[in-house]
Structure formats: C-alpha cells, structure tokens
Amino acid sequence: MTGVRSVVPAQMAISLGLIAISSVLALGAFHFPPEMGFVILPAYVYPYAVAAFLGVVGVLLGYQAITGGFRELDNAQTVTVPGGKAGAVWVTAGLLGVALLINVIGFVLAAGLLFVCAARGFGSRHPIRDLAIGIALTLPIYWLFNAGLGVSLPPLINAWI
C-alpha cells in the first residue's frame, strides 16, 4: 500500500506563481486596443497565447505538486545546474553579444548566437547544432513580429552577408 502523498509547498508556489503571471498577462492583453491597422493579427493575440501557455504549465505543475511532487526530480538527490560561474559568464556574453551585434549581423543570427552561448552555459558542447536550433527558433519569431505585429526588427540578415 502506498503512503499518503503530500503537497510539496515550494513546488506549489512555483505553480501558483506561473498561474498568477498568466493571469496578469491575460488581464493586460484584455486592455489592448482591438484595432488592427496594417497587421495580420491584433496586438493582444501574442500576450493571450503566452498567458494560455503559462497557465497550462502552471496547472500541470500544480497537479504534480499536489500528487507527490514534480516527477523528474528525485527528492533524495540535490539538483544542480551545470555551468556554475562559467555558465553565467557564457550567458552574459551571449546577452552582450546580441546587444552589440544585432544591428551588424541581423536579428536572426544575433539571437542564434545568444542561443549558442546560453546552451554552452548550460553544458552543451555542440555549437553548430545549437546555432541551427537557435536560428530555427528565431525565424518564426522574426516573421511573427514583422508580418503579424508589424514591428520592425533588425533585418533578417544584413545586406553585406
């Protein structure tokens, strides 16, 4: 017979925090103006999508916290994140690199390099693969902002490339 499962307070706090952030985003999106102008989607679509995603993740994490804790964590084992100080340096370098290079090499490549630096900071040793993943994640964001919202980001790639 299994023992009684108890709520893990710290994990429940994470769940409730995500649900609270989701609610604030949805409330903020509700106050966006409904007019669309010359864009495909109105401005409130993206905050609603992020709010829905965070809300679903918060509810799922809450369910796990109530039913015995997050499944991927071993309560007897200390969870450590790879990287430490060197990882923080890699992530910081990536952020500074984007700030310095976004107007030089374009949004997609700069964000791809940020992904490479962040992945390296968390222990990845495959920069080419990480760059491909970063660019694959960044291209839809670029197109959604430019076509969907009508927000001009730095060029996809600059003319000199």
Q: Which tops the pLDDT comparison, 136 or 35?
A: 136
Tokens of 4: 């009684």
What is the per-residue burial (b if ≥16 Cβ within 10 Å, else e) of 70-86? beeeeeeeeeeeebeee
Contact 44, 32 (CB under 8 A): yes
Q: Predicted confidence band at 159 (pLDDT cuts at 50, 70, 90)? A: low
According to DSSP, residue 155 is labeled P
Tokens of 140: 């839809």
- The residue behind tokens 């999508």 is 49
Q: Percentage of residues in the chain with pLDDT exceeding 70?
A: 83
| pTM over 0.75, yes/no | no
Contact 148, 41 (CB under 8 A): yes
Tokens of 138: 């960044």
Q: Please state the domain extents for the chain.
A: 9-66, 84-149
pLDDT in the model for residue 158: 60
For residues 125 and 114, give the distance between their C-alpha atoms in angstroms, rounded to a whole number.
15
Lowest mean pLDDT among 64-73, 88-97, 124-133: 64-73
Q: Which tops the pLDDT comparison, 144 or 50?
A: 50
Q: Which tops the pLDDT comparison, 135 or 39?
A: 135
- The residue behind tokens 């809450």 is 62
Tokens of 121: 């900071």
- The residue behind tokens 């060197």 is 86
pLDDT (tens digit, 9 = 90+) per residue, 90-127? 999 999 999 999 888 888 999 999 999 999 998 899 99
pLDDT in the model for residue 153: 78
Contact 115, 127 (CB under 8 A): no
pLDDT in the model for residue 106: 87
Lowest mean pLDDT among 22-26, 29-33, 82-86: 82-86
For residues 109 and 104, give the distance between their C-alpha atoms in angstroms, rounded to a whole number.
10
Q: Predicted confidence band at 20 (pLDDT cuts at 50, 70, 90)? A: very high
pLDDT in the model for residue 1: 43
